[in-house]
Every structure is written in C-alpha cells, then in structure tokens.
Structure 1
Amino acid sequence: MDDAVTVIVARYTEDVSWVERLGYNSVVYDKSDAPAENARQLENIGREAHTYFTHIVNEYETLSPMNVFVQGDPFDHLDDRGRTDVDGLRKQLVDVVDRALPFKGLAWFKLKCDRLGRPHDLRKLENKGRWAGWGRDIPVGAVFEELFHVPMPEQLIVRAPTGNFCVSGDRIRTRPISFYQHCLHLVEQDPFDEYNTGHAFERLWQHIFNGNTAWNSGYPVSS
C-alpha cells in the first residue's frame, strides 16, 4: 500500500467498498445513521466541504504527501459514461503522483461561472426539496471575497466542479490552519446549505489550493 497517498471519502449512504480496491490508505467520514465499518462519524451538515475541512484542520500537520478528496460515489462525475471505474481512478491517481502535481480536479468536465454560480441547475424542478437552498443562486463571489479579501474576477474557470480532487499536503499547507478553520466555520454557519455555501465551495477548490500566499492576509500563522 502506497503510504504517500491517502484517500479521504465523504460518505452518506453510498457503498464505499470500492475504496479498498484502490489500494491506497483511506479515511471514510460517515454522516449516515448506519456508518460504514471503521468510518469516522460526523454530523450530517455542510456537504462534503464540511468533511474535507474537518479532515484538513484535524490532520493539518500530518497530512499525506498526496490527499485525494472524493465523495462516497464519485464515479458519475469522473466518467462521462457514469461507469464505476475503479481502475480508471487508480490510473489517474498514479499519474498525479508520478507527475507530482500539486492539485488536480478529477471530474471529466470543467465549468465557467460568474459570482452567482451561473449557469447552474439549482432550480431544476426534479431537485426541488432535496436541500434547503433549492432555487437560490450560489454565493461564489461572496464566499471568494470572504476567504481571500480580494475582488472576485468576472468569471471563474472551475477545475474541480464536483468536489472530487487531489491536492498535495505541501500545497494545502501554503495556507495557515486558521484559513481552513475559517472555511469550516463558514460551512458550519450554513449547516443545511440553505444559502448554498457548500455549493460555493464546489466552485472554489482550485482557488483554495492555488498556492497564492498573497491571499493569506489576515490569517494568523501558528507558531
């Protein structure tokens, strides 16, 4: 098993038996009433962003050289045919490690959006009632500016639009732990995603991990 890689899984009720087949160390965070074996239980709030920031804050000093953040069933986002392709995911991860990439989105597509997350599908009638923020825009601009204290560009290219990505431990630590504590606080302030804060983070992962230390202003560094 490759100790240089840890797969961090945000599970609700999905079958996560595929994780073991990847052949990497893994941590499953579970928000269901019937947690998977050996999973770490979390309160069911804040979408996968809550899970990811919880892991980063708790493991900040001991993060793996490469950290793979994925949802409990990521495969319809990783493959345009929706296949459960564990071998394909493993090949992507091997490539990321071999090339020492500091960040890579794993979705098969990219998005372009404005400060309200448009275009988006949060008003689809078939999704009505699935979460409290249905029908609202996504506060991408507001969250961007709250995090980085600079104006958001007119549009963003979103390179990890589904919340499935790889990021190195070194790249994570280009921002102080206080930054991630603030991120965690923001999601906890919108626990049921009434204002789509969790959706906003889905549009911002590549900026959170872009290594631009000039955006760290205002975040204290622990001694």
Structure 2
Amino acid sequence: MSTGIETKGLKPELRRLVESRNNAKVFDAEHASPNIGIVMAKTRPEDVNWLMELHQDLPFRPFIYSLNPSVEPGCLAPRSRRGRETAAYLSYIIDNYDLLPDYSIFMHAKDEQWHNDVLGQKATDTIKALRFQHINATGFANLRCTLFPGCPIGVNPLDPSEQDILNKDTRAFFAEIYMELFDVTREQVPRHIGNVCCAQFAVTRARILERPRSDYERMLSWADQSREGDFGVGWVFEKVWDTVFGMDAINCPDYEQCRCDMYGWCGPLASGEVLKPSFT
C-alpha cells in the first residue's frame, strides 16, 4: 500500500561510499587527509544525495542511518530510533569506537536548513568552509555561530519554574536526567546550561575517545528507554552534546569570533576591526 510519501533513496554511487565507509585501504589510498566522517539520520522523504557534490571537493566517509522501521537500501541501521538524530549519533560512536576517523561531523540530512547560518542555509557550503585547525585545537565545535536559541542559558536543571513542574515539562526533571546520563550525583549537576542549538557539530576522534564506550552505551540506553518522546529525547541531547564532548556547561562563543574561527570570516567588522582566528 502506498503511503503517499515520496522516497528519496540513495543513488548507487553514494551507496557504494556507505558500504566502503570502514575500508581503510580504500580511503587511505584514494582520499587525502584529514580523514573525515559525516554522520546523519535520514527519514524516507529526505534526499541526502547532495553529499556526492560535497564529496567531490571534500572526500569523506558517509555514515547515513535510516530512521525507518525497514532500513532503506544503502543506509545503516541504528541501535535505536529514539530521539530523532540522537540514537543515530550514539550508534555511530558505539559501532565505530575503534575505527573512528580523525574528525566526525554530525549533520542533519537536508542540505538546506535554517540551522546553517554563517554562509547561508546550505550544509554543503558550511562544511566546505570549515577550518579544521580550529576543530583540532578545541576538540569540539558547534557548526552554528548564532547564539539564539540556547544561549546564554537554555535550562536551569536545579531550579525549574513552577509552571514547568506543574506541566511536568522535561525541564522539571532535567537534573535527574542529567544524573542518569552522566552517572553523577546531584551535587555535580550544573546550575545552568547554555549552548548553541541545533545538534550539528564537529568532534575530533581524540575528544570522542576521552569517554569510554560504556558512557555512550549508557546514554543510548536512556534514550531508548526514556519516557520522553522523540522530541523530548532530542531536545535533552541538544542541551548536553557540548557536555558529552568535554565542553563547559555554558558554551556560548562570541558570534563574530566563532565566524572567524570556524569559517575564516574575520571581517572587517562594522567598527573596521579585523579579527584573527584563535588558532591557526
């Protein structure tokens, strides 16, 4: 029976790349450094074939996870489908923990979306312009520079509002969720959490490996078994991805400096000042 939903399947050349994603001989022989993996979760209507255009300019290893109950041809099967991209991201880390590329770029499936801000809405342009010197120096970097939404404070785990408590909003239970995700005591839960949205970021292999695989397995177990719906699980992780990868609970870089550090857009600013990248 037709669902009325158009399927945007992977083209053969992209399927072949996914199939050879962990063939080190293929990628070492054919592609220049750095070794990059692009990770995304795909629903059936989403078209990810734009990745082939990107691959011509920036060779990478694709890890495309299907969020459909029946895995789309050419896609990978996540360990769970909870939390939108959450389970796919964690499945990637768990399954490839010993085979991670130098850099992992976690992206949404659509090429054009409002989450991409500095160079327009196209993911292709965003990724092509990335300064890996900065990612290498910081270990983790959000791909978005605009501070809203999420900064300066997105959630107060230890001080939920009366309305959140009355409505049984996720914010009312955030401290308990944080304790379970990170296996910490209440005293270790930060009073405030603030970071740039929207679950698109780049991480070095070294930074991912600072946590044992068991940490990511525990986080995935929570996502899979949580009473929160897909939106709630995804929202929780959007607030803590920075923490997962070793950043401060409040991580809100200056917009202009972020633009310079991440994409080399250093000015001149309206004041006439020209910035310098934090790391070169």
The answer, yes or no, to whether TM exceeds 0.5 is yes
| Matched-pair contact (CA < 8 Å) for 1:46–1:191 | no
Could you tell me which residue of structure 1 aligns to residue 176 of structure 2?
142
Aligned-partner Cα distance in 2 for 1:197–1:76: 21
Displacement, 1:194? 6.3
Aligned-partner Cα distance in 1 for 2:65–2:227: 16
The yes-or-no answer on 1:61 pairing with 2:98 is yes
Aligned-partner Cα distance in 2 for 1:4–1:158: 27
Could you tell me which residue of structure 1 aligns to residue 218 of structure 2?
182
Displacement, 1:191? 7.4
Displacement, 1:80? 6.7
Q: 2:67 aligns with which of 14, 27, 31?
A: 31
Displacement, 1:21? 2.0
| Matched-pair contact (CA < 8 Å) for 2:106–2:202 | yes
* Cα deviation digits, residues 103-162 of structure 1 (max 9, x gap): 10112323221235999xxx9xxxxxxxxxx99334443332221414322211214x21
Structure with the larger RCO, 1 or 2 (CA within 8 Å, 6+ apart): 1
Displacement, 1:98? 6.5
Q: 1:41 aligns with which of 50, 74, 77?
A: 77
TM-score scaled to structure 1, two decimals? 0.74
The yes-or-no answer on 1:19 pairing with 2:60 is no
Query: For residues 25 and 191 of structure 1, do their structure 2 counterparts lie closer, same or farther at Cα, with a shift above 3 Å needed?
Result: farther
Query: What SS class does the counterpart of residue 54 from structure 1 fall into?
Result: helix
Q: 2:203 aligns with which of 167, 176, 181?
A: 167
- Structure 1 outlier segments of 4+, above 4 Å: 33-37, 116-119
Higher strand share: 1
TM-score scaled to structure 2, two decimals? 0.60
**Alignment identity in percent?**
20
The number of residue pairs the alignment matches comes to 196
Which sections of structure 2, spanning at least 5 residues, go unmatched?
A: 1-30, 249-280
Query: For residues 99 and 40 of structure 1, do their structure 2 counterparts lie closer, same or farther at Cα, with a shift above 3 Å needed?
Result: closer
CA RMSD of aligned residues (A): 3.2
* Cα deviation digits, residues 86-105 of structure 1 (max 9, x gap): 1232112xx02565241101
AA of the residue aligned to 1:204: V
